[in-house]
Amino acid sequence: MLDLSYEAPKPKVIAGAKHDWELVIGLEVHAQVASKAKLFSGASTKFGAEPNSNVAFVDAAMPGMLPVINEFCVEQAVRTGLGLKAQINLKSAFDRKNYFYPDLPQGYQISQLYHPIVGEGEVLVDMEPGIARLVRIERIHIEQDAGKSIHDMDPNMSFVDLNRTGVALMEIVSRPDIRGPEEAAAYVTKLRQILRYLGTCDGNMQNGNLRADVNVSVCRPGQYEKYQETQDFSHLGTRCEIKNMNSMRFIQAAIDHEARRQIAILEAGGEIDQETRLYDPDKGETRSMRSKEEAHDYRYFPDPDLLPLEIEQGWVDDIAASLPELPDAKKARFVKDFGLSEYDASVLTADTANARYFEQVAGDTDGKLAANWVINELFGRLKKEDHSIEDSPVSPEQLAGIIKLIQKGEISGKIAKDLFEIVYTDGGDPAQIVEERGMKQVTDTGAIEAAVDEIIAANPAQVEKAKANPKLAGWFVGQVMKATGGKANPKAVNEIVAAKLGQ
C-alpha cells in the first residue's frame, strides 16, 4: 500500500525573507512522440541528420501543401493518455497558434487548444520508497515542434534548420499540484519513466526529446488550501513560466532561484509580472524573455486544412488492451512476488530493461539474493565501465547460474564474487568454471578439520592467547580460509575452530 499522506516540505527558509512562503508549481512537459515520421508529413525525424535534410514540402510551408495526419502519432498520444489513467476524447480538433519566428515557416503552429485529445489524468510521484504524491494532469494535446535558429555559426548571419519542424509533440500539462524543486524533478522523472515504459517517447532530455516549461508562483501559508477547496486560481500568486528546461538539475535550480526572486520582490512591496523567463545555467538565474502572451495574442482559430479528429472507442479499447505493465504495478508485483524492499523494487523497475533482466535472473533463483546481485554486483560493475544493461557481458542465465551455485552451497559468497569477475571478463558457464578451476566450497568437515589441526599445531603461542581470549578465534578462521583459497564453508570453519580451541 502506498502512503499518500506525504506532506510537501516547507520551502527552505529564504535568507533575508521576513515571512513564510510556499511554492506552487505546474509543469508543461513537451514529449516528442517516438515516431519515425513527422506529425503531418512523411519526413524522417532522425536526430542528428544533415541540417534541412528531413524536410517535406509541407514542413517548409510551400504554397498549396496540405497536412495529412499521422495515425501512429495519434495512437501514441492515446496510449500516453491511457497510461496516465486519463480521459480520452473521441472528438478533438486542431487549431492554429499564430506566431512569427524564422524557424516556423508556416507562421503558425498546429496545436490543440479548445479540444485536446486527452483530458484529466494523474501521475503518482514517488518521493521516498513507499511514499508517493498524486499530481493531477489537466490535459494532453498534440502539436508540431518548431525548427531551430542557429546564431553562433556566423558573425553576421543566422541560419535555420527545419529538420525538427513538424515533428510530433505531446504537451502534457499538469495542475499546479507540485510544491517544491525536488517534487518537480520527481514528477518529471516519473513521467519520463511512464513514457518510456509505454514506448511513446524515448525520454532523451539531452536531445531535447523531453523538455519542460516550469510555472512557478509563491504564496503565503493557507492560500494553497483555499485554492484546493475552490480550484480558484485567484488564491495563488502570479506565476512566471521558465521555458524549455531539459535537465532535472536545472529544473530544480531554476525553481529555487525563481522562488527567491519572487519573494524578494513581494517583500519589497512589489508585484510579480506574469512573464516568460529563461534559465541561465552559467549564472544560475532566470531572466525575462518576454511578457506573457494571452491566448488572444496567438489569434487561435480552428485549422481549416484539417478535419476534426474523430476516433472510435473500439480502437481506444484495443490500445488499452495492449498497454504494458506500468511502473507502479510492476514495482508492487516485485515487492509482493519476490519479497523485495520498496527501494530495491524501485531500482529494478526504473526502466524495463533492468526489470526484464532481473525477472530472468529471479525466475529460478531466490528473489532477494537475485536483487542483491543485480543491484550491487552487476549494476556496480556495469557502471564502472559505463555499460548499459543491454550490453551486459554477463547474461541473466549466467548470473542465475552463479546464484544457484551459492544457493546449493557449492560456492561461498566470496568465491561467487571471483566467479562473477571471471564470467564478466572471460564468459563461460559458471558451473563448468567452478568444476574446472576447483572453486567448489569445501564442506567436507574432515578436510576442514585437517586444515584447522595443521594451523593449531603450527601456532602454539597463538592457541594459548585464543584460549584466554575467545575473540582471537577469528584469526584461526582467517588462516583456514587462506589455506583453503577461500573455499572452505565459513560456517563449518567457525564451528570446528571453536570446538578445537575448546570454546
DSSP-assigned beta bridge partners for residue 110: 96
Residue with cell 578436510: 447
For the segment 149-208, give every residue that binds ligand ADP (CB under 6 A).
Answer: 173-176
Binding flag, residue 25, ligand ADP (CB under 6 A): yes
Residue 97 contact among Mg ion, ligand ADP, none, beta carbon within 5 to 8 Å by kind? none
Reading the block at residue 476, the C-alpha cell is 584461526
Choices 24-32, 58-66, 273-281, 295-303 (CB under 5 A): range interacting with Mg ion: 24-32
Amino acid 255 reads: I
Residue 211 CB, nearest distance to Mg ion (Å)? 12
Tell me the angle at which helices 352-362 and 327-338 cross, rounded to the nearest 10 degrees.
Answer: 20
| Integer Cα distance of 291 and 261 in angstroms | 16
Residue 76 contact among ligand ADP, Mg ion, none, beta carbon within 5 to 8 Å by kind? none
Cβ-closest position to Mg ion = 28
- Out of 28, 202, 285, 342, the residue judged to bind ligand ADP by CB under 6 A: 28
Choices 22-30, 130-138, 308-316, 375-383 (CB under 5 A): range interacting with Mg ion: 22-30
Q: Are strands 159-161 and 240-245 parallel, antiparallel or unpaired?
A: unpaired
Residue 28 CB, nearest distance to Mg ion (Å)? 5
Residue 113 CB, nearest distance to ligand ADP (Å)? 9
**CB under 8 Å to 172, separation ≥6 — which residues?**
27, 28, 29, 30, 31, 80, 84, 137, 140, 191
**Radius of gyration (C-alpha) of the chain in whole angstroms:** 30
Residue 121 CB, nearest distance to ligand ADP (Å)? 13
Please list the alpha-helical segments (H only) found in 143-247: 181-198, 223-230
Cβ-closest position to ligand ADP = 26
Residue 27 contact among Mg ion, ligand ADP, none, beta carbon within 5 to 8 Å by kind? ligand ADP
**Residue 190 contacts residue 137 (beta carbons within 8 Å):** no
Q: Are strands 148-150 and 131-144 parallel, antiparallel or unpaired?
A: unpaired
Amino acid 273 reads: D
The DSSP code sequence of 217-264 is EEE-TTHHHHHHHH--GGGSPPPEEEEEE--HHHHHHHHHHHHHHHHH
| Integer Cα distance of 79 and 362 in angstroms | 30
Report the Cα 404 to chain-centroid distance in Å: 31
Binding flag, residue 22, ligand ADP (CB under 6 A): no
Residue 217 CB, nearest distance to ligand ADP (Å)? 3
Query: How is residue 110 annotated by DSSP?
Result: E
Residue 136 CB, nearest distance to ligand ADP (Å)? 9
Which candidate, 301, 81, 284, places its Cα nearest to that of 194? Answer: 81
Binding flag, residue 112, ligand ADP (CB under 6 A): no
Instruction: Map residue 130 onto helix, strand or coil.
Output: coil
Residue 87 CB, nearest distance to ligand ADP (Å)? 17
Residue 147 contact among Mg ion, ligand ADP, none, beta carbon within 5 to 8 Å by kind? none
Residue with cell 495529412: 68
| Integer Cα distance of 378 and 128 in angstroms | 24
| Integer Cα distance of 189 and 356 in angstroms | 20
Residue 204 CB, nearest distance to ligand ADP (Å)? 22
| Integer Cα distance of 43 and 63 in angstroms | 17
Choices 23-31, 136-144, 288-296, 460-468 (CB under 5 A): range interacting with Mg ion: 23-31
Binding flag, residue 243, ligand ADP (CB under 6 A): no
Binding flag, residue 215, ligand ADP (CB under 6 A): yes
Amino acid 419 reads: L
Please list the alpha-helical segments (H only) found in 143-180: none
Binding flag, residue 366, Mg ion (CB under 5 A): no
Choices 22-30, 70-78, 151-159, 247-255 (CB under 6 A): range interacting with ligand ADP: 22-30
Torsional sign, CA 9, 14, 17, 22: negative
Residue 273 CB, nearest distance to ligand ADP (Å)? 13
SS3 content of the chain, % helix, strand, coil (to 5): 40, 20, 40
- Out of 45, 217, 223, 398, the residue judged to bind ligand ADP by CB under 6 A: 217
Choices 20-28, 88-96, 283-291, 385-393 (CB under 5 A): range interacting with Mg ion: 20-28
Binding flag, residue 59, ligand ADP (CB under 6 A): no
For the segment 382-441, give every residue that binds Mg ion (CB under 5 A).
Answer: none
Residue 174 contact among Mg ion, ligand ADP, none, beta carbon within 5 to 8 Å by kind? ligand ADP
Binding flag, residue 28, Mg ion (CB under 5 A): yes
Residue 213 CB, nearest distance to Mg ion (Å)? 6
Residue 265 CB, nearest distance to ligand ADP (Å)? 15
Amino acid 319 reads: I
Binding flag, residue 27, ligand ADP (CB under 6 A): yes
The contact set with Mg ion (CB under 5 A) reads 28
Q: Which residues bind ligand ADP (CB under 6 A)?
A: 24-28, 173-176, 215-217, 233, 236-237, 239, 241
